[in-house]
């Protein structure tokens, strides 16, 4: 095999890997169910890594009354979400597999990050950092005067992809500065 053929194979492999990463997220967007998740305080910027928002969702803290069984840091879990009357989704159960305990619920995959007896279970979903247009991090309101939420697509496997922000129930577009 000639050198240019080897180089072509390596380049094609790298391109295929890149496409598979994009296709994985796109599958979730195309086939997922849209859920609206309330967030806790927002961190608008990191000077080293660029413009992104570090989020903490209300579903990241799960009451022990919702959980059956013992959960330890590092455990992969599936959190069952139910849509409330206000349109926001909240955690109603936590499982070790993609089990539905209630009708009309969706499952989101996560990993337990903290679990102490008598305290809530902390779960990380992999959607806690959302990259945003350059210079737009300070546009998103912070504090207690507003309800900030993220529209998230969740596929049947529990994979999640954040789509857009909502502030006080209305879509919120971040503008590049």
List the pLDDT tens digit at each of the 177 positions of the chain: 888 888 999 999 999 998 888 887 888 888 888 898 888 755 555 555 566 778 889 999 988 877 766 788 889 999 999 999 999 999 998 988 888 888 999 999 999 998 887 788 999 999 988 777 666 666 666 666 778 888 999 999 999 999 888 888 888 776 666
Instruction: Supply 130's token pair.
Output: 């959302």
* 141 in Cβ contact with 106 (< 8 Å): no
- Same domain flag for 121 and 97: yes
Token couple for 152: 């998230």
Domain that residue 67 falls in: 34-172
Separation CA 24–CA 36 (nearest Å): 21
**Can you tell me which residue has the tokens 């737009």?**
136
Asked if 50 and 112 sit in the same domain, the reply is yes
Q: Would you put residue 69 in left (φ > 0), alpha (ψ -120 to 50) or beta?
A: left
Residue 177 lies in a domain: no
User: 58 and 24, same structural domain?
Assistant: no
92 and 68 part of one domain? yes
140 and 117 in a common domain: yes
Flag whether 1 is in a domain. yes
């Amino acid at each position: 095999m000639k050198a240019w053929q080897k180089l072509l194979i390596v380049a094609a492999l790298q391109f295929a890997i890149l496409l598979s990463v994009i296709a994985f997220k796109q599958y979730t967007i195309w086939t997922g169910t849209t859920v609206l998740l309330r967030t806790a305080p927002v961190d608008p910027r990191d000077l080293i890594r660029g413009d992104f928002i570090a989020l903490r969702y209300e579903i990241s803290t799960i009451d022990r009354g919702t959980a059956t069984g013992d959960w330890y840091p590092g455990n992969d879990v599936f959190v069952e979400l139910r849509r409330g009357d206000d349109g926001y989704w909240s955690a109603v159960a936590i499982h070790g597999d993609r089990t539905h305990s209630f009708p009309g619920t969706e499952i989101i995959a996560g990993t337990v990050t903290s679990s102490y007896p008598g305290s809530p279970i902390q779960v990380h979903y992999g959607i806690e950092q959302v990259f945003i247009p350059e210079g737009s991090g300070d546009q998103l309101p912070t504090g207690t005067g507003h309800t900030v939420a993220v529209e998230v697509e969740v596929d049947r496997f529990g994979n999640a992809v954040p789509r857009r922000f909502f502030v006080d129930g209305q879509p919120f577009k971040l503008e590049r500065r």
